[in-house]
Chain A
Amino acid sequence: MQYGFYVLPVTIITAVALLTIGVGIPKVKATLELRQELKLASAKLLRLTEKTAALQRLDETELRTKMAVMERVLPSRKDVGGVLLGLRQAALSAGVTVVSVNLAPGELATGSSKLKQTASGMEVEVKLTGQIGAVEEWLRLVEEEVVPVMRVKALSGGQDAGSWQLKVNLKAEYLPLPEGLGAANKPLVGLSQEEETLYQRLVPRVGEVTTETDLDQVPLGNPNLLQ
Protein backbone atom coordinates (compact mmCIF):
# COMPACT_ATOMS: atom_id res chain seq x y z
CA MET A 1 0.00 0.00 0.00
CA GLN A 2 3.07 2.16 -0.20
CA TYR A 3 2.07 3.42 -3.66
CA GLY A 4 -1.70 3.16 -3.18
CA PHE A 5 -2.19 6.85 -3.86
CA TYR A 6 -1.29 6.23 -7.54
CA VAL A 7 -4.33 3.99 -8.10
CA LEU A 8 -7.00 6.70 -8.36
CA PRO A 9 -5.05 9.06 -10.68
CA VAL A 10 -3.96 6.19 -12.93
CA THR A 11 -7.56 4.90 -13.05
CA ILE A 12 -8.92 8.34 -13.89
CA ILE A 13 -6.27 9.06 -16.55
CA THR A 14 -6.83 5.61 -18.10
CA ALA A 15 -10.60 6.19 -18.10
CA VAL A 16 -10.13 9.63 -19.68
CA ALA A 17 -7.87 8.20 -22.37
CA LEU A 18 -10.19 5.26 -23.11
CA LEU A 19 -13.29 7.46 -23.16
CA THR A 20 -11.53 9.95 -25.45
CA ILE A 21 -10.61 7.21 -27.90
CA GLY A 22 -13.84 5.23 -27.63
CA VAL A 23 -16.45 7.96 -27.17
CA GLY A 24 -15.04 11.48 -27.41
CA ILE A 25 -13.34 11.40 -30.81
CA PRO A 26 -16.16 9.46 -32.62
CA LYS A 27 -18.79 11.73 -31.08
CA VAL A 28 -16.90 14.88 -32.10
CA LYS A 29 -16.46 13.51 -35.62
CA ALA A 30 -20.12 12.53 -35.89
CA THR A 31 -21.30 15.86 -34.51
CA LEU A 32 -19.04 17.85 -36.83
CA GLU A 33 -20.37 15.86 -39.81
CA LEU A 34 -23.91 16.43 -38.59
CA ARG A 35 -23.20 20.19 -38.28
CA GLN A 36 -21.97 20.15 -41.86
CA GLU A 37 -25.15 18.38 -42.99
CA LEU A 38 -27.20 20.80 -40.92
CA LYS A 39 -25.48 23.72 -42.63
CA LEU A 40 -26.36 22.27 -46.05
CA ALA A 41 -29.92 21.49 -44.95
CA SER A 42 -30.32 25.04 -43.59
CA ALA A 43 -29.11 26.46 -46.91
CA LYS A 44 -31.59 24.20 -48.74
CA LEU A 45 -34.36 25.29 -46.39
CA LEU A 46 -33.47 28.94 -47.02
CA ARG A 47 -33.62 28.38 -50.78
CA LEU A 48 -36.97 26.61 -50.47
CA THR A 49 -38.36 29.34 -48.20
CA GLU A 50 -37.21 32.02 -50.65
CA LYS A 51 -38.75 30.06 -53.52
CA THR A 52 -42.07 29.69 -51.66
CA ALA A 53 -42.09 33.41 -50.92
CA ALA A 54 -41.28 34.20 -54.57
CA LEU A 55 -44.05 31.86 -55.77
CA GLN A 56 -46.55 33.38 -53.36
CA ARG A 57 -45.64 36.86 -54.60
CA LEU A 58 -46.50 35.92 -58.20
CA ASP A 59 -49.83 37.24 -59.35
CA GLU A 60 -51.69 34.20 -60.64
CA THR A 61 -53.98 36.16 -62.99
CA GLU A 62 -51.08 38.08 -64.51
CA LEU A 63 -49.12 34.87 -64.86
CA ARG A 64 -52.02 33.16 -66.62
CA THR A 65 -52.32 36.10 -69.03
CA LYS A 66 -48.58 36.02 -69.71
CA MET A 67 -48.80 32.30 -70.31
CA ALA A 68 -51.69 32.76 -72.76
CA VAL A 69 -49.81 35.53 -74.61
CA MET A 70 -46.61 33.51 -74.85
CA GLU A 71 -48.54 30.41 -75.91
CA ARG A 72 -49.83 32.39 -78.88
CA VAL A 73 -46.39 33.84 -79.67
CA LEU A 74 -44.51 30.57 -79.34
CA PRO A 75 -46.93 27.64 -79.05
CA SER A 76 -46.03 24.42 -77.26
CA ARG A 77 -47.32 22.44 -80.23
CA LYS A 78 -47.41 22.78 -84.00
CA ASP A 79 -50.12 25.42 -84.14
CA VAL A 80 -51.29 24.84 -87.73
CA GLY A 81 -54.46 26.88 -87.24
CA GLY A 82 -52.56 29.80 -85.75
CA VAL A 83 -50.07 29.77 -88.64
CA LEU A 84 -52.84 29.81 -91.27
CA LEU A 85 -54.63 32.58 -89.40
CA GLY A 86 -51.44 34.63 -89.10
CA LEU A 87 -50.62 34.28 -92.79
CA ARG A 88 -54.17 35.24 -93.77
CA GLN A 89 -54.13 38.23 -91.42
CA ALA A 90 -50.81 39.43 -92.91
CA ALA A 91 -52.12 38.96 -96.47
CA LEU A 92 -55.29 40.95 -95.73
CA SER A 93 -53.33 43.78 -94.08
CA ALA A 94 -50.65 43.96 -96.78
CA GLY A 95 -52.97 43.46 -99.76
CA VAL A 96 -51.28 40.45 -101.35
CA THR A 97 -52.98 37.36 -102.72
CA VAL A 98 -51.96 34.08 -101.19
CA VAL A 99 -52.09 31.54 -104.01
CA SER A 100 -51.28 28.46 -101.99
CA VAL A 101 -50.04 27.36 -98.60
CA ASN A 102 -48.29 24.04 -98.12
CA LEU A 103 -47.59 22.60 -94.71
CA ALA A 104 -46.28 19.22 -93.69
CA PRO A 105 -46.35 19.40 -89.90
CA GLY A 106 -45.56 15.72 -89.36
CA GLU A 107 -45.91 14.42 -85.85
CA LEU A 108 -48.43 16.31 -83.77
CA ALA A 109 -48.58 16.56 -80.02
CA THR A 110 -51.42 14.56 -78.50
CA GLY A 111 -52.82 14.13 -75.04
CA SER A 112 -50.48 11.24 -74.39
CA SER A 113 -47.41 12.21 -76.41
CA LYS A 114 -45.53 15.45 -76.27
CA LEU A 115 -43.26 16.78 -78.97
CA LYS A 116 -39.53 16.36 -78.51
CA GLN A 117 -37.70 19.28 -76.88
CA THR A 118 -35.23 19.33 -79.74
CA ALA A 119 -37.93 19.68 -82.38
CA SER A 120 -37.29 22.66 -84.64
CA GLY A 121 -39.83 24.88 -86.35
CA MET A 122 -42.59 23.74 -88.70
CA GLU A 123 -41.87 24.36 -92.38
CA VAL A 124 -44.45 26.28 -94.38
CA GLU A 125 -44.37 27.09 -98.08
CA VAL A 126 -46.45 30.03 -99.28
CA LYS A 127 -46.96 31.12 -102.87
CA LEU A 128 -48.21 34.64 -103.23
CA THR A 129 -48.62 37.38 -105.72
CA GLY A 130 -48.80 41.15 -105.34
CA GLN A 131 -47.07 44.47 -105.89
CA ILE A 132 -43.51 44.72 -104.58
CA GLY A 133 -44.48 47.17 -101.82
CA ALA A 134 -47.31 44.91 -100.68
CA VAL A 135 -45.06 41.85 -100.78
CA GLU A 136 -42.44 43.65 -98.70
CA GLU A 137 -45.12 44.67 -96.22
CA TRP A 138 -46.39 41.07 -96.08
CA LEU A 139 -42.89 39.82 -95.34
CA ARG A 140 -42.47 42.45 -92.62
CA LEU A 141 -45.84 41.61 -91.08
CA VAL A 142 -45.14 37.87 -91.10
CA GLU A 143 -41.79 38.33 -89.38
CA GLU A 144 -42.63 41.17 -87.03
CA GLU A 145 -46.34 41.43 -86.40
CA VAL A 146 -48.26 38.17 -86.58
CA VAL A 147 -48.24 35.22 -84.22
CA PRO A 148 -46.87 32.58 -83.90
CA VAL A 149 -43.31 33.76 -84.55
CA MET A 150 -42.30 32.90 -88.11
CA ARG A 151 -38.96 33.36 -89.86
CA VAL A 152 -38.47 33.53 -93.62
CA LYS A 153 -35.89 30.94 -94.63
CA ALA A 154 -35.95 31.27 -98.40
CA LEU A 155 -37.55 33.42 -101.02
CA SER A 156 -37.71 32.83 -104.75
CA GLY A 157 -39.68 34.14 -107.68
CA GLY A 158 -39.81 37.06 -109.97
CA GLN A 159 -41.84 39.70 -111.71
CA ASP A 160 -44.54 38.82 -114.21
CA ALA A 161 -46.80 41.42 -115.87
CA GLY A 162 -46.00 44.05 -113.24
CA SER A 163 -46.88 41.77 -110.36
CA TRP A 164 -44.45 39.80 -108.22
CA GLN A 165 -44.96 36.08 -107.83
CA LEU A 166 -43.06 34.66 -104.94
CA LYS A 167 -42.52 31.36 -103.24
CA VAL A 168 -41.70 31.93 -99.58
CA ASN A 169 -40.35 29.21 -97.32
CA LEU A 170 -41.07 29.96 -93.70
CA LYS A 171 -40.36 28.32 -90.42
CA ALA A 172 -43.22 28.63 -87.93
CA GLU A 173 -41.57 28.36 -84.55
CA TYR A 174 -42.84 26.48 -81.52
CA LEU A 175 -41.36 25.36 -78.23
CA PRO A 176 -42.45 21.99 -76.82
CA LEU A 177 -43.21 21.75 -73.13
CA PRO A 178 -40.26 20.82 -70.92
CA GLU A 179 -40.08 17.32 -69.48
CA GLY A 180 -40.18 18.56 -65.90
CA LEU A 181 -39.45 21.44 -63.58
CA GLY A 182 -36.32 19.96 -62.03
CA ALA A 183 -35.53 19.76 -58.32
CA ALA A 184 -37.92 21.49 -55.92
CA ASN A 185 -35.09 23.50 -54.35
CA LYS A 186 -33.99 24.85 -57.74
CA PRO A 187 -34.36 28.62 -57.44
CA LEU A 188 -37.21 30.29 -59.27
CA VAL A 189 -35.77 32.49 -61.99
CA GLY A 190 -37.69 35.70 -62.52
CA LEU A 191 -38.02 37.60 -65.76
CA SER A 192 -35.19 39.97 -66.58
CA GLN A 193 -35.83 43.59 -67.48
CA GLU A 194 -35.07 42.77 -71.11
CA GLU A 195 -37.61 39.92 -71.09
CA GLU A 196 -40.26 42.13 -69.47
CA THR A 197 -39.68 44.75 -72.19
CA LEU A 198 -39.92 42.08 -74.88
CA TYR A 199 -43.14 40.78 -73.33
CA GLN A 200 -44.63 44.28 -73.40
CA ARG A 201 -43.66 44.50 -77.09
CA LEU A 202 -45.29 41.13 -77.80
CA VAL A 203 -48.62 41.91 -76.12
CA PRO A 204 -49.96 44.15 -78.94
CA ARG A 205 -48.79 41.54 -81.46
CA VAL A 206 -51.13 39.00 -79.90
CA GLY A 207 -54.04 41.38 -79.32
CA GLU A 208 -56.69 40.55 -76.80
CA VAL A 209 -56.25 37.18 -75.18
CA THR A 210 -58.55 35.13 -73.08
CA THR A 211 -57.10 32.55 -70.78
CA GLU A 212 -59.97 30.15 -71.61
CA THR A 213 -60.60 29.51 -75.27
CA ASP A 214 -64.00 29.02 -76.84
CA LEU A 215 -62.66 25.69 -78.02
CA ASP A 216 -62.95 24.42 -74.44
CA GLN A 217 -66.73 24.64 -74.66
CA VAL A 218 -67.07 23.10 -78.13
CA PRO A 219 -68.12 19.43 -77.93
CA LEU A 220 -65.50 17.40 -79.74
CA GLY A 221 -65.67 14.02 -81.38
CA ASN A 222 -68.21 12.18 -83.46
CA PRO A 223 -68.97 8.63 -82.37
CA ASN A 224 -70.36 7.69 -85.79
CA LEU A 225 -68.49 8.92 -88.85
CA LEU A 226 -71.18 7.58 -91.21
CA GLN A 227 -73.80 9.95 -89.86
Chain B
Amino acid sequence: MQPIKVNLLPYKQRWFTVRQRLAWWLTTGSMILGAGYAVLLGSLLTWQVITEGQMRATLRRIDQTKKEVEALAGRESQQVLVKNKLTKAAELIRQPGITPVLRAVGNLLVPGVQWREIAVKSDGGIEVTLGSSDVVAVGETLENIEAKAGGGDFSQVRLESLTKANNGEYGLTLNLNR
Protein backbone atom coordinates (compact mmCIF):
# COMPACT_ATOMS: atom_id res chain seq x y z
CA MET B 1 0.00 0.00 0.00
CA GLN B 2 1.35 3.31 -1.05
CA PRO B 3 1.52 6.04 1.71
CA ILE B 4 -0.68 9.05 1.04
CA LYS B 5 1.38 12.16 0.50
CA VAL B 6 -0.24 15.38 1.71
CA ASN B 7 1.19 18.66 0.65
CA LEU B 8 1.13 20.86 3.87
CA LEU B 9 2.90 23.79 2.29
CA PRO B 10 -0.22 25.88 1.51
CA TYR B 11 -1.44 25.50 5.14
CA LYS B 12 1.95 26.48 6.53
CA GLN B 13 2.10 29.43 4.21
CA ARG B 14 -1.40 30.52 5.26
CA TRP B 15 -0.57 30.15 9.00
CA PHE B 16 2.65 32.10 8.43
CA THR B 17 0.71 34.92 6.72
CA VAL B 18 -1.83 35.01 9.57
CA ARG B 19 0.92 35.18 12.17
CA GLN B 20 2.69 37.91 10.28
CA ARG B 21 -0.51 39.98 10.10
CA LEU B 22 -1.25 39.33 13.78
CA ALA B 23 2.29 40.39 14.69
CA TRP B 24 1.94 43.56 12.66
CA TRP B 25 -1.42 44.47 14.23
CA LEU B 26 -0.26 43.67 17.73
CA THR B 27 2.97 45.64 17.36
CA THR B 28 1.33 48.61 15.66
CA GLY B 29 -1.66 48.55 18.00
CA SER B 30 0.41 48.36 21.15
CA MET B 31 2.68 51.16 19.90
CA ILE B 32 -0.36 53.33 19.18
CA LEU B 33 -1.76 52.43 22.61
CA GLY B 34 1.59 53.23 24.24
CA ALA B 35 1.87 56.55 22.43
CA GLY B 36 -1.75 57.44 23.26
CA TYR B 37 -1.25 56.50 26.86
CA ALA B 38 1.94 58.55 27.03
CA VAL B 39 0.02 61.55 25.66
CA LEU B 40 -2.77 60.93 28.19
CA LEU B 41 -0.33 60.62 31.07
CA GLY B 42 1.49 63.75 29.91
CA SER B 43 -1.83 65.63 29.77
CA LEU B 44 -2.71 64.38 33.22
CA LEU B 45 0.60 65.62 34.63
CA THR B 46 0.20 68.94 32.82
CA TRP B 47 -3.35 69.25 34.20
CA GLN B 48 -2.04 68.65 37.70
CA VAL B 49 0.78 71.15 37.28
CA ILE B 50 -1.64 73.76 35.87
CA THR B 51 -4.13 73.13 38.74
CA GLU B 52 -1.32 73.46 41.31
CA GLY B 53 -0.27 76.71 39.67
CA GLN B 54 -3.87 77.99 39.76
CA MET B 55 -4.14 76.96 43.40
CA ARG B 56 -0.92 78.79 44.31
CA ALA B 57 -2.09 81.89 42.45
CA THR B 58 -5.50 81.76 44.14
CA LEU B 59 -3.92 81.36 47.58
CA ARG B 60 -1.60 84.28 46.84
CA ARG B 61 -4.58 86.43 45.82
CA ILE B 62 -6.52 85.32 48.91
CA ASP B 63 -3.60 86.42 51.10
CA GLN B 64 -3.37 89.72 49.26
CA THR B 65 -7.15 90.33 49.47
CA LYS B 66 -7.14 89.36 53.16
CA LYS B 67 -4.51 92.03 53.75
CA GLU B 68 -6.72 94.53 51.91
CA VAL B 69 -9.69 93.51 54.10
CA GLU B 70 -7.51 93.84 57.21
CA ALA B 71 -6.44 97.29 56.08
CA LEU B 72 -10.14 98.22 55.93
CA ALA B 73 -10.96 96.54 59.25
CA GLY B 74 -11.70 99.93 60.81
CA ARG B 75 -14.57 100.47 58.39
CA GLU B 76 -15.76 96.93 58.90
CA SER B 77 -15.82 97.24 62.68
CA GLN B 78 -17.72 100.51 62.45
CA GLN B 79 -20.24 99.00 60.02
CA VAL B 80 -20.69 95.93 62.25
CA LEU B 81 -21.15 98.10 65.33
CA VAL B 82 -23.67 100.36 63.62
CA LYS B 83 -25.55 97.30 62.37
CA ASN B 84 -25.54 95.61 65.80
CA LYS B 85 -26.63 98.76 67.58
CA LEU B 86 -29.41 99.42 65.05
CA THR B 87 -30.67 95.85 65.40
CA LYS B 88 -30.72 96.13 69.20
CA ALA B 89 -32.24 99.63 69.09
CA ALA B 90 -34.99 98.39 66.74
CA GLU B 91 -35.73 95.54 69.13
CA LEU B 92 -35.95 97.94 72.11
CA ILE B 93 -37.99 100.56 70.32
CA ARG B 94 -40.47 97.92 69.13
CA GLN B 95 -41.37 97.15 72.75
CA PRO B 96 -44.49 99.04 73.79
CA GLY B 97 -43.81 102.10 75.93
CA ILE B 98 -45.29 102.80 79.33
CA THR B 99 -47.52 105.72 78.22
CA PRO B 100 -49.99 103.58 76.22
CA VAL B 101 -49.98 101.10 79.11
CA LEU B 102 -50.91 103.89 81.53
CA ARG B 103 -53.78 104.95 79.28
CA ALA B 104 -54.97 101.37 78.83
CA VAL B 105 -54.87 100.75 82.59
CA GLY B 106 -56.67 104.06 83.16
CA ASN B 107 -59.49 102.85 80.90
CA LEU B 108 -60.07 99.89 83.21
CA LEU B 109 -60.43 101.92 86.39
CA VAL B 110 -63.51 103.63 87.77
CA PRO B 111 -63.38 106.73 90.05
CA GLY B 112 -62.39 105.80 93.57
CA VAL B 113 -59.78 103.26 92.50
CA GLN B 114 -56.16 104.38 92.12
CA TRP B 115 -53.25 102.58 90.59
CA ARG B 116 -50.34 102.12 92.99
CA GLU B 117 -47.75 100.41 90.87
CA ILE B 118 -47.28 99.33 87.26
CA ALA B 119 -44.41 97.01 86.40
CA VAL B 120 -43.37 95.65 83.03
CA LYS B 121 -42.20 92.06 83.48
CA SER B 122 -39.39 90.44 81.52
CA ASP B 123 -41.85 88.37 79.47
CA GLY B 124 -43.64 91.56 78.36
CA GLY B 125 -46.57 91.09 80.75
CA ILE B 126 -47.71 93.97 82.94
CA GLU B 127 -48.38 93.73 86.65
CA VAL B 128 -50.67 96.42 88.00
CA THR B 129 -51.39 97.05 91.67
CA LEU B 130 -54.56 98.97 92.40
CA GLY B 131 -55.81 100.34 95.68
CA SER B 132 -59.13 101.64 96.94
CA SER B 133 -60.98 102.02 100.20
CA ASP B 134 -64.31 101.94 98.39
CA VAL B 135 -65.49 98.37 98.00
CA VAL B 136 -68.19 99.42 95.52
CA ALA B 137 -65.57 101.05 93.28
CA VAL B 138 -63.47 97.88 93.45
CA GLY B 139 -66.46 95.81 92.40
CA GLU B 140 -67.29 98.23 89.59
CA THR B 141 -63.70 98.11 88.35
CA LEU B 142 -63.85 94.31 88.15
CA GLU B 143 -67.21 94.51 86.38
CA ASN B 144 -65.76 97.09 84.02
CA ILE B 145 -62.85 94.75 83.15
CA GLU B 146 -65.22 91.83 82.57
CA ALA B 147 -67.62 93.95 80.52
CA LYS B 148 -64.93 95.14 78.09
CA ALA B 149 -64.20 92.76 75.25
CA GLY B 150 -60.77 91.27 75.95
CA GLY B 151 -60.35 93.48 78.99
CA GLY B 152 -60.05 96.64 76.90
CA ASP B 153 -56.56 96.89 75.38
CA PHE B 154 -55.37 93.60 76.82
CA SER B 155 -55.75 90.10 75.49
CA GLN B 156 -55.65 88.50 78.92
CA VAL B 157 -56.45 89.88 82.38
CA ARG B 158 -55.73 87.85 85.53
CA LEU B 159 -56.72 88.98 89.00
CA GLU B 160 -53.77 87.63 90.96
CA SER B 161 -54.87 88.79 94.39
CA LEU B 162 -57.43 90.85 96.22
CA THR B 163 -56.58 91.76 99.79
CA LYS B 164 -57.95 94.02 102.46
CA ALA B 165 -55.45 95.81 104.70
CA ASN B 166 -55.90 96.80 108.32
CA ASN B 167 -56.60 100.39 107.30
CA GLY B 168 -59.58 99.15 105.30
CA GLU B 169 -57.95 99.61 101.90
CA TYR B 170 -58.46 96.99 99.26
CA GLY B 171 -55.47 96.00 97.19
CA LEU B 172 -55.79 94.31 93.79
CA THR B 173 -52.99 92.84 91.75
CA LEU B 174 -53.76 92.34 88.08
CA ASN B 175 -51.62 90.59 85.51
CA LEU B 176 -52.22 91.94 82.05
CA ASN B 177 -51.05 90.68 78.69
CA ARG B 178 -51.28 92.69 75.53
Mark A residues whose CB is within 8 Å of B: 5-6, 8-9, 12-13, 15-16, 19, 23-24, 27-28, 30-31, 34-35, 37-38, 41-42, 44-45, 48-49, 51-52, 55-56, 58, 60, 63-64, 66-67, 70-71, 73-74, 76, 136, 139-140, 143-144, 149, 151-159, 169, 173, 175, 177-178, 181, 184-185, 188-191, 194-195, 198-199, 202
Contact = CB atoms under 8 A, between A and B. Distances in A.
B86 A191 contact: yes
A30 B51 CA distance: 10
Contact of B87 (A55, A140, A195): A195
A185 B34 CA distance: 47
A20 to B, nearest CB: 8
A51 B44 contact: no
B6 interface: no
Contacts of B76: 55, 181, 188
Interface stretch (B54-62, B139-147, B155-163): B54-62
Contacts of A35: 51
When A and B form their complex, which 8 residue pairs have the shortest distance between CB atoms, in order from nearest?
A5-B23, A9-B30, A156-B117, A154-B119, A152-B98, A55-B72, A70-B85, A12-B30
Nearest to B24: A5
A16 B47 CA distance: 19
A115 to B, nearest CB: 14
Nearest to B51: A34
Contacts of B120: 151-154
A129 to B, nearest CB: 16
B30 to A, nearest CB: 4
A188 B75 CA distance: 10
A156 B130 CA distance: 10
B92 A52 contact: no
Nearest to B40: A24
Contacts of B39: none
Contacts of A58: 75, 79
Given A175-B88, A198-B90, A155 B98 contact: yes
B89 A38 contact: no
Contacts of B88: 74, 173, 175
A35 B84 CA distance: 38
B34 A15 contact: yes
A143 B33 contact: no
A89 B98 CA distance: 19
Contacts of B61: 45
Interface residues of B, number: 62
Count chain A CB atoms within 10 A of each CB in B31, B68, B99 and give the residue with the most: B99
B78 interface: yes
A85 to B, nearest CB: 18
B81 A67 contact: yes
A155 B118 contact: yes
A31 to B, nearest CB: 5
A154 B1 CA distance: 139
Given A52-B65, A175-B85, A8 B31 contact: yes
B51 A38 contact: yes
B19 to A, nearest CB: 8
Interface in B22-70: 22-23, 26-27, 29-31, 33-34, 37, 40-41, 44-45, 47-48, 51-52, 54-55, 58-59, 61-62, 65-66, 68-70
Contact of A38 (B22, B34, B54): B54
Contact of B97 (A8, A19, A143): A143
Nearest to B120: A153
A13 B33 contact: yes
B102 interface: yes
B118 A191 contact: no
